[in-house]
Structure 1
Amino acid sequence: MPIINKDLDPAFQTAGANPGLEVWCIENQELVLMSESDHRKFYTGSAYIVLNAVFPKNGPPHYDIHYWLGNDTKKVDSNLASDKALELDAALGSCSVQYREIQGQESQKFLSYFKPCLIPIEGVFTSKQGNLNGEYQVSLYSCKGDYVVHVREVPFQRSSLNHEDVFILDTALKIFLFSGCNSTIQERAKGLEVVQYITENKHGGKCEVATIEDGKFVGDSDVGEFWSLFGGYAPIPREPPASQESVPPSAKQYWINLQGKICPIGSNALSKEMLESDKCYMLDCDNEIFVWMGRQTLLTERRTSIKAAEDFVRNEGRSSKTHLTFLSEGLESTVFRSHFTNWPKTVEPRLYEEGREKVAAIFKHQGYDVKELPDEKDDEPSIDYGGTIKVWRVDGDELSLLPVTEHTRLYSGDCYIVQYTFPGNGRDETLFYAWLGCRCVTEDKTAAISHVNTMVDSSRTNPVMAQIHEGKEPAQFFSILKRLIVFKGGNSSGYKKFIEEKGIVDETPNENLVALFRVQGTSPDNMQAIQVDQVSSSLNSSYCYILRSEAAMYTWIGNLSSARDHNLLDRMVELFNPAQLPVSVREGNEPDIFWDVLGGKAEYPREKEIQGFIDDPHLFALKITKGKTCLIDGSVSHANLLEF
C-alpha cells in the first residue's frame, strides 16, 4: 500500500472506481460499507455517507458526496460524517460537490438516487442485525413532491392528516392510500409508486391495497375500515390561508478565517472577483447556505470552514430545512453563480494574452497602426484531456488493473500500461502508453511492451502506442494523468527477486520510511512529486520539496521557487496526507531536526535552474523522387505509431 494512503480510511480505498452509488454507515466511530441490497436502509439514529459517481462518455468522472444525518444521530457521529465526507473528497482529488442532508429535508438530487422513495427506519444501524419478531407495526406516512417524493413517518393519529398531501397507512394486511383533495395528480401518482414499493419490500409483494378519496365517506367498505382505524370519522380541519410571505433577504457573503471565525463582507453587490483562491467563504441565502472553498486552500482550512458553517446554522436557530452545500472553486453550481453579478461565462484570458493587448495599446497610442495577426490553427486539433483512464501494473505475464485512487502513483521499479480514451472526430480515440520505470527489470520491460502490443492489435479503433521512460515523459502524458507521484522501489515479483539476489535494500515506501519528494509541474492539473534520495544534496533552490518522517511532515520552499510552485506544493500535501498539517520550512531557516532527518546538512544547487526545452515530436515522411531523397516534416497524426 502506498505511503500516501496510510491515513485514508480503509473503507475508501476503492471509492469512486466504478460508476453508481456507494453507501457507508458510521458504526462505533468506524465506516461500514453497505451492500447494494442495504442502500435504502437508513436508520434514524445513524449517520451515512453516500457517493454518486457518474462516468460520462466524454469528460472526466463527476462525483457528488452527501452525508445524511438521521433525526436521532449523535453529535459525535454527525461531526465524523462531515470529516469523512471531506476526506473522501480529498481522496478523489478535491473535485466533488458535497451536500449535508437532514432526515426529512433531503435535497431532490439525493432522493433521486432512491426512487421511488427513501423511508428511514427507527433505531440505530448495527452490522449484526438479527431477525425481529413480534406484532406488525402500523405506520402512517406523508408523501410530498411531484418529481421526487419526500416520505416522512408521522404520528398515527387523525390530526396528522390534511387536505394538501398524500398519506399512506401501512397495516399488516392492507395498505391505504389517502389523497388530500388539494393534492396534485403527480403527487397521487408518486404515492401509488410508494405503495408499490412498500408492498414489495415489507409485504413480499402480497398485500391488499385500498385508495381513499378525501371527502368521500359512503358507499365503500374500505373507507369505513380506514376511518375505523382512527376511531371513527371526523372532519379534517382546513388550514387557515397562508399569510403573504415576505421577500427573502438578499444573499450575504462572509469570509471564514483560519480559526473558523465568520467575518461579514460589507458589500451589497457580489462579484466573482471577491472570491480569492486561498480563502473560504460562506454565502447565506436564508434557506440555503453555500460554503465556497478556493483551490489553494488546505484540507484543514476546509474542515474548519465546514464546522463553522454547521455551527452558524445551529447557533442562529435556522430552520431544519436549511440546506448546506460545499463547493470547490471551479465546480460552482448555477444557483450559486446566480447570486453574483456578471459571473464570467468564459475562461479568463491568460497572462500573455493580457500582455499582448497592453503592448498593442501602447503602440496605438504612439501613432502606429497595429494589426493583430490571426492565431495559427493546427490541422490536427489537440486531444481532449477530459477522457477516461485505465492503468495496469505489469508483473511478468500478469497484468493488475489498478483502482482509480492508484492511477497516479507509480513506482520506479515497475512498469505500467496506461490506456486513455477520449472523444475524437465522430468516434472515440485511444492512446496506449507503456511507462517503464528507471529501475525496472528487463523481464517486466519486455512484458510491458508485449502486453501493450497485444492490446493495440486487439483494439478496433486504430490506437496510438507510445513507449516512454521515466524522466523522459512527454507533456501530453502529464496532462492526461494530471497528478503524478513517482515512488522509489517496486511491487512486481521480478523487482523483488532482483533486489533480493543483489542484496539491495528495498526502498519501496512504508509508513516508517523517511522519504523526500521534489514537487514540479505547471498547474494543479499538471503536477508531479518525484521521490529523490533523502539527503541534503538532493535539494535545489529552484524547487519545493516534501519531506516525510515517522514523526512529522515538512514542506521545504526554495528561495528561487515561484508562487506557482508554492500552490502546487500545497495541493500535493493534500494528496500525501489530507489529515496531517505539515511544518513549513523556508530555505535558510531550517530547524536542526530538519537536517537531522536528511542525515546532516550538505551543499546543494542554489542557482536558478534553466528548464530544458523539449521539442514536440515530429513525424517525417520519406519521399524519393528521381534519385533524390528528402524528409518532409508533417504533423503528428493519431493514426501513427510514436516512440518517445
Structure 2
Amino acid sequence: MSISMKNLDPAFRGAGQKDGLEIWRIENFKPIPVPTSSYGKFYMGDSYIILKTSALKKGSFRHDIHYWLGKDTSQDEAGTAAILTVELDAALGGRAVQYRELQGNETEKLLSYFRPCIMPQPGGIASGFNHVEVNEQEHVTRLYVCRGKHVVHVKEVPFARSSLNHDDIFILDTKSKIFQFNGSNSCIQERAKALEVVQYIKDTFHEGKCEVAAVEDGKLMADAEAGEFWALFGGFAPLPRKIRSEETGEDMEAAAKLLCFNQGQLEPISFESLTHDLLETNKCYLLDCGGEMYVWMGRSTSLQQRKGASEAAEKLLTDDSRTKSHVMKMIEGYETVAFKSKFNEWPPTPDLKLSSEDGRGKVAALLKNQGLDVKGLMKSAPETEEPEPYIDCTGNLQVWRVNGNAKTLLASAEQSKFYTGDCYIFQYTYTGEDKEECLIGTWFGNKSVEEERASAIKLASKMVQAAKFQATMARLYEGKEPIQFFVIFQSLQVFKGGLSSGYKNFIAESGLDDDSYSEAGLALFRIQGSGSENMQAIQVDAVASSLNSSYCYILHDGNSVFTWIGNLTTSLDHELVERQLDAIKSDLPSRSLKEGRETDKFWELLGDKLKYSNKKIEREQESDPHLFSCILSKDGNLKVKEIHHFTQDDLMAEDVFVLDCHSYIFVWVGQEVDAKVKTQAMDIGEKFLVRDFLMKNLSRETTIFTVSEGSEPQIFTRFFTWDSAKSLMHGSSYQRRLAILKGGAAKLLDVSLNLVIFQFSAEILGSIACKRYL
C-alpha cells in the first residue's frame, strides 16, 4: 500500500517516534492532542485515539492503536475515530494493531496503560459541558464495582443495597471515608487490586486526606467499620444469594465466521477448516468469533480498502447491537497471537524486518521533506553480541556428576570439564545486590540418558527444598546455555562421551562405540567465548566439515598439536585459543596454522579436505519480556494469561508467573503458593514451553529458571523497577497492600524482617545438616 502524507492530519505528523503514549481527542471531526498532564482522564461524551509505541530490543518500534468510545459519544465521532485510526496506522507504515475500545468494556491491554483504572467523567466536548476538575467539585457519595485480578474494570453503580453482591468488590466513596467491601466469593488477588483503586480515589478525589476502611462480607454490626458501612445503607440486611450477571455480551465460544469485504459488502466464506490459505493478500476479511472480531487487511490492499473494511465492521456492530464485542484490526504479517490461534494451522511468520525498516524509512523520508523531526523514527538500538550476565563472578562453585540415582562431587580441578554423555548439578553462591544469592542448576549433555536427567532434576530439587526454596534453580541443556552459566565456569571444556554409569550402561546395551575423549586419541575442539572470564572449548567431530572460518580450533592426536585460525576470527579469538591450549594439551608444543595455509599433516588427521561454514553459530537471543499468570489445574493442564505492561506489583504472592524472554524463561512462585505447587515449578516451566503461547517456536530445551518470592536474583529483577522492601513483606497480597494504604507498611515490614532474621538463624543450623546431605 502506497503511503501518502498529503491528506494526513497535521496532528499525526511525527507520531510514534519514541517509546510511550500519545493521545488525541476527536473535536469537530479532527484529532486534537491531549496534554500529557491529562493522560488517563476520559469523558463519557468523547472519543479518543491512543497510540502506544514500544521500543523493542531489536531496535524497531511496535505500535498499538486504540480508539476509545465513551458511552455518550456520537455515532459520527465514533466513526471518525475509527477512520482516523486507519490513517494513523498507514502513516506509521501499516504495522500497528488497532483496537476498538468501548467504555466499560476495555481490553486489558488498554487498561494496563492507565493503572490502576480508568474512571470516565461525565460530559464531553460536543455537549458543550464545561469540564471542572474533580477536586473542585462538591463531593458526592458514589458506589463502584471492581472486577479483575490483573487489571481492574471499574464501573459506577447506583448507591443502593441492591447493587451489592457476594461475588464482587465494591468501593463506597464518601466525603470523609472510603470503604472497600469485599464480597465473600471474591478472591484475594481481586481484593488487592481493588485497593489500588482505593488509593487512586483517595489521591485524586480527596487530595490524599481521608480515612480508608476495609469491610468483609459477613461481618455484622459488631465490627465498627462494618457497622459504619451498613449504616450508610440504612442498616444491615443479608444480601441475596444471586448469581452475578457477567455482562460479557456475546458468546465467547461462538463458532468462527469468516467474511470477505468486497466492494463495500461483507460476503461469507464457507470452509471446513479455518486455515491461513483462505486469506488473500489483496483483500480484507472479518473473522467473527462472537465476543471477539478481527479485521485482517492484506498487505496489497489500498488505504481506501482498509477504510472501507473498518466502516463495514463498525456498521455490523451497530446493526447487530454487538456493543460488547472487542474488535482488533491488523495488517498481514503483523497478526496478534490471539488471531493466529483461531486458525487450525498458521505458517511461521517470515522475517519482515527488512520490509518494515524499508517502510519506516519511506515514512521518515516523507516526514523529513515536510520539515519534521524524524530522529526517533529511524533510531535503532544496537544489539550487543554478548549480553550482560548480571551475576557476580567471584562466588563459590561446587559441581556434581550424576551417576544413576546418586551424585558424585567433583574436585575443583575437574569441575569445569563436562562430558556430553553426562548430567551435572552445580551450586553457585555469590554476593547479590543486597544479600547472598544461591543458584542450583542442572546441565544435560546432548548424549545423556533420560533416566539420569530425571535423577538430576530430582536431586537438585531436594537441594532447593533444603535451602527453604530460597535458591534459584536452573535447568540447562548443552548448546542452549545462557551467559550466566559460562561466566560462572569461566573456562569450560566439553568432551565427547561420558563417565557416568547411565551413559556407560547405555553404550553397552546399544552396542555403540564409545567415543569418549582420550588424551592419546584424535580430537578437534572449537574455541569460543568473549574473554578470559567466558571461554569454552567444545569437542566436535574430527573431520574438516566441522571447521568454521569464524572460529579457532585445536587439533591433536596425542603426538602433535595444531591450532587453526579461521580467516574471520579476531585477536581476541587468537588469545582464547592460546589460553585453552593449557587446558586441552599443555604437555606438547603446538603449531599455528592460518586458514588456507594448512599442512598436509593437518588435512591427513581430518581425513581429507571438505567444505565447511564461515558463519557464526547463532544462539537464541533474549527478546522483549512477556509476563504470564499461570494456573496448573488438577488434571495437569496449564492455563496462562498475559499481563500487559507489567510491573513488580503484578507479582501476586498467591500466584505463579512465567516471565518469557525467549532464550530463557523464569518461573516465579509467590510466598503464599501451596507447598505442593512450589515443588512443581519446574514442571510448570516445561509445560509452558510445550504450550508456546506466543507461537515463537520455543525449544523444549530452552533454559528454565525457577525463582521464589523474596529471593529474586538480579537476573530476574532487572526486568522490573524493583523495590526489595516489597519482596521482604509477608502475608497475602491483600494484607500487604492494605497495610501500605493504612500506613502500616513499616510495621508489617518490621515483622517481616524479624521473620527473616529468625529464618536466617534457623538456616545457619540447617546449613550444617545441608552440607552433610550434599
Question: TM-score range with shorter-chain normalisation?
Answer: 0.5 to 0.7
> What SS does the aligned partner of 1:32 have?
strand
Asked whether 1:425 is paired with 2:429, we answer no
1:113-512 equivalences under 5 Å are 113-125=113-125, 129-130=131-132, 135-240=138-243, 248-259=253-264, 261-318=265-322, 320-345=323-348, 347=350, 406-407=364-365, 421-423=381-383, 425-426=385-386
1:284-336 Cα deviation digits (max 9, x unpaired)? 10110101000011111111111111211222233x32111101101111121
Cα 1:102–1:134, aligned 2, differ >3 Å: closer, same or farther?
Answer: closer
Distance in 2 separating the partners of 1:390 and 1:276: 24
Query: CA 1:235–1:258 in 2, change beyond 3 Å: closer, same or farther?
Result: same
Shift of 1:407: 4.2
Shift of 1:248: 2.7
- Match for 2:385: what amino acid? N
Instruction: After superposition, give the CA deviation of every residue in 1:571-614 in whole Å (9 maximum; x if it has no partner).
Output: xxxxxxxxxxxxxxxxxxxxxxxxxxxxxxxxxxxxxxxxxxxx
**Deviation for aligned residue 1:420:** 5.6
Alpha-carbon distance change, 4 to 317 in structure 1, aligned in 2, over 3 angstroms:
closer
Decide whether aligned partners of structure 1 residues 171 and 305 sit closer, same or farther in structure 2, where only a CA change above 3 A counts: same
Q: Could you say if the C-alpha distance between residues 229 and 344 of structure 1 is closer, same or farther in structure 2, counting changes exceeding 3 Å?
A: same
- Secondary structure, counterpart of 1:189 in structure 2: helix
* Distance in 2, Cα, partners of 1:148 & 1:68: 17
Q: Which position in structure 1 is the counterpart of 2:63?
A: 63
Seen in structure 2, the aligned counterparts of structure 1 residues 65 and 384 have a Cα distance that, compared at 3 Å, is closer
Shift of 1:411: 6.1
Tell whether the 8 Å contact from 2:46 to 2:72 is kept in structure 1 after alignment: yes
The alignment partner of 2:111 has SS state of helix
**Aligned letter for 1:251?**
A
> Deviation of residue 138 (structure 1)?
1.3
- Alpha-carbon distance, 1:228 to partner: 2.0
Asked whether the 8 Å contact 1:17–1:405 carries over to 2, the reply is no
SS at match of 1:5: coil
Single out whichever of 18-27 and 97-106 deviates more from structure 2.
18-27
Once the 2 structures are TM-superposed, how far is the Cα of residue 389 of structure 1 from its aligned partner? 12
Residues 58 and 386 in structure 1, CA contact (< 8 A), matched pair in contact too: no
Shift of 1:159: 1.0
Q: Which amino acid aligns with 1:425?
A: E
Q: What is the CA distance between 1:272 and its match in structure 2?
A: 0.9
CA separation of 1:129 and 1:17: change in aligned 2, threshold 3 A: same
**Secondary structure at the counterpart of residue 423 of structure 1:** coil
After superposition, the C-alpha distances for 1:254-310 in whole angstroms (9 at most, x for unaligned) are: 111122x11111113111111001100011101101010000111111111111112
Distance 2:237 2:332 in 1: 56
1:124 & 1:422 partners in 2: Cα distance?
45
Structure 1 residues not aligned, in runs of 5+: 351-382, 392-403, 429-618, 620-634, 636-644
Residues 61 and 240 from structure 1, CA distance in 2 versus in 1: closer, same or farther, beyond 3 angstroms?
closer
User: Contact 2:83–2:311 at 8 Å: present in 1 too?
Assistant: no
Cα distance, 1:239 vs structure 2: 1.2
Contact 1:256/1:282 (8 A) holds in 2 = yes
CA drift of 1:234 comes to 2.0
Equivalent position amino acid for 1:250 in 2:
A
Cα distance in 2 for residues equivalent to 1:114 and 1:411 = 35
Letter in 1 for 2:275: S
- Match of 1:45, SS state, is coil
CA gap 1:162/1:298 in 2 versus in 1, 3 angstroms: same
Q: Any idea what SS the aligned residue of 1:249 has?
A: coil
For residues 149 and 87 of structure 1, do their structure 2 counterparts lie closer, same or farther at Cα, with a shift above 3 Å needed? same
CA pair 248-134 structure 1, distance change in 2 beyond 3 A? closer
The Cα shift of 1:120 comes to 1.0
Distance (Å, rounded) in 2 between the aligned partners of 1:12 and 1:115: 25
C-alpha displacement of 1:230 = 1.6
Q: d(CA) in 2 for partners of 1:390 and 1:254?
A: 31
Equivalent position amino acid for 1:272 in 2: H
TM-score normalized by structure 1? 0.54
CA RMSD of superposed structures (Å): 3.6
Distance of 2:358 and 2:312 partners within structure 1: 36
Kept in 2, the 8 Å contact 1:169–1:177? The answer is: yes
Partner of 2:496 in structure 1? none
Please tell me whether the aligned partners of residues 145 and 171 of structure 2 are also in contact (alpha carbons under 8 angstroms): yes
State the distance in 2 between where 1:389 and 1:296 align: 14
Q: 1:40 to 1:247 in 2, by over 3 A?
A: closer
Pairing of 1:508-523 with structure 2 (within 5 A): none
Aligned partners of 2:59 and 2:379 also within 8 Å = no
In structure 1, what residue type is equivalent to 2:203?
Answer: E
Identity of paired residues, percent? 45
After TM superposition, give the deviation of residue 341 of structure 1 in Å: 2.2
Q: Does the CA contact (< 8 Å) of 2:57 and 2:381 recur in 1? A: no
Letter in 2 for 1:83: I
**Separation of aligned partners in 2, 1:220 and 1:74:** 47
Q: Is 1:77 aligned to residue 77 of structure 2?
A: yes
d(CA) in 2 for partners of 1:219, 1:298: 68
Superposition map of 1:82-101 within 5 A? 82-101=82-101
Q: Is the contact between residue 93 and residue 359 of structure 2 (CA under 8 Å) also seen in structure 1? A: no
Name the one with the larger helix percent: 2
SS at match of 1:83: helix
Report the alpha carbon displacement of residue 187 of structure 1 after superposing the two structures with TM. 0.5
Alignment of 1:545-624 (within 5 A): none
**Structure 2-normalised TM-score?**
0.45
Could you say if the C-alpha distance between residues 384 and 28 of structure 1 is closer, same or farther in structure 2, counting changes exceeding 3 Å?
closer
Q: Distance in 1 between matches of 2:121 and 2:383?
A: 45
For residues 33 and 100 of structure 1, what CA distance do their matches in structure 2 show? 19
Secondary structure of the corresponding residue to residue 140 of structure 1: strand
Matched, 1:104 2:104: yes
Q: Distance in 2 between matches of 1:232 and 1:410?
A: 67
Contact 1:49 1:65 in 2 (8 A): yes
Gaps of 5+ in 2: 389-567, 569-613, 615-774
Contact 2:92–2:360 (CA<8 Å) still a contact in 1?
Answer: no
Matched residues in 2 for 1:47 and 1:347: separation? Answer: 36
Q: Deviations over 1:446-477 (max 9, x none)?
A: xxxxxxxxxxxxxxxxxxxxxxxxxxxxxxxx
What per-residue deviation string (whole Å, max 9, x for no partner) do you get for residues 402-448 of structure 1?
A: xx9544556699xx9987654253379xxxxxxxxxxxxxxxxxxxx
Letter in 1 for 2:269: I
**1:41 paired residue number:** 41
What count of residue pairs does the alignment treat as equivalent? Answer: 380
Shift, 1:26, TM fit: 1.4
Mapped to 1, the partners of 2:109 and 2:198 lie a distance apart of 22
